[in-house]
Amino acid sequence: MENRTIKNLAEMDGRVYLYFSSKETKRRFMRQAANEGVTFQDGVCVMARPNDEIMALNHDMTVSFIGFAGNMAFRHPEAVVGDERLIRVDFQKYMDGEEEYIL
């Protein structure tokens, strides 16, 4: 199995939204993100703030909250955010090595 990292997701060709299916998945993300140096856009460590069920992962290895408009976009598979196509990732499936992790 390939070594799946958050960095690999940040390098995808599109706007990545991460979906966390449970509190444990959120905790798993926060641990992995802290290990890989992911921060919020203002430089605050991901462990310092709670995260939402859906978070945006930016190409610069930062995360951000997506708000109402982002939540609406997440619900539409053909959504485009800015000039990038939206890539919806089930983080649990991704980290578990499942092939079908794109929602």
Domain assignment present for residue 100? The answer is no
Q: What is the pLDDT of residue 75?
A: 87
Q: Is residue 101 part of a domain?
A: no
Looking at 1-103, list the stretches that DSSP marks H as alpha helix, in order from N- to C-terminal side: 6-10, 23-36, 67-74, 91-95
Domains held by the chain: number: 1
Nearest to 57, CA basis, from 38, 75, 70? 38
- Confidence class for position 82, pLDDT limits 50, 70, 90: confident
- Domain boundaries, position 21: 6-95
Q: What is the pLDDT of residues 47-60, one digit of tens each?
A: 898 878 999 999 99
Inform me whether the pLDDT recorded for 98 exceeds 90: yes
| Residue 43 identity (one-letter amino acid) | G
Query: pTM for this one?
Result: 0.90
